[in-house]
Amino acid sequence: MPIRAPRICSCGNRIAGNAVCICRQRAKAEADKRRPSAAARGYDGKWQRESKAYLARPENAHCSCGCGRLANMVDHIIPHRGDMKLFWSRSNWQPMAASPCHNSRKQSLERQNSNH
């Protein structure tokens, strides 16, 4: 497996191939401190029951990205960003495989779209 070449972070630090700069690690840690808990964001017992029932339906068995993997989580098509009406709107739900479909591809797309 090839190793990425070192690079210069925007803060000026030289970073080894696949490493994450300390400035990015600190920024993420600070953001995580400010972020409400999962339960406070709506992912509570009710969500666990409802999402499990959603995934139990035969039409929701496979990941909606078309990869053929079994879905093991419910994703919000449009990020709800705290809007509880959008959060609970089942028309905004889709079955997904957590990895790699949601945890890599979808979150990467959402980050790109939120930067524009």
Using a pLDDT cut of 70, give the percent of the chain over it.
90
Helix (H) or strand (E) holding 114: helix 107-114
Query: What are the extents of the domains in the chain?
Result: 1-35, 39-114
Q: What is the mean pLDDT of residues 83-103?
A: 93
Output the pLDDT for position 114. Answer: 63
Asked if 23 and 59 touch (Cβ cutoff 8 Å), the reply is: no
CB atoms within 10 A of CB 106: 19
Q: Is the pTM above the cut of 0.75?
A: no
Per-residue pLDDT reduced to its tens digit, 23-79: 999 998 999 899 889 899 999 999 999 999 999 999 999 999 999 999 999 999 999
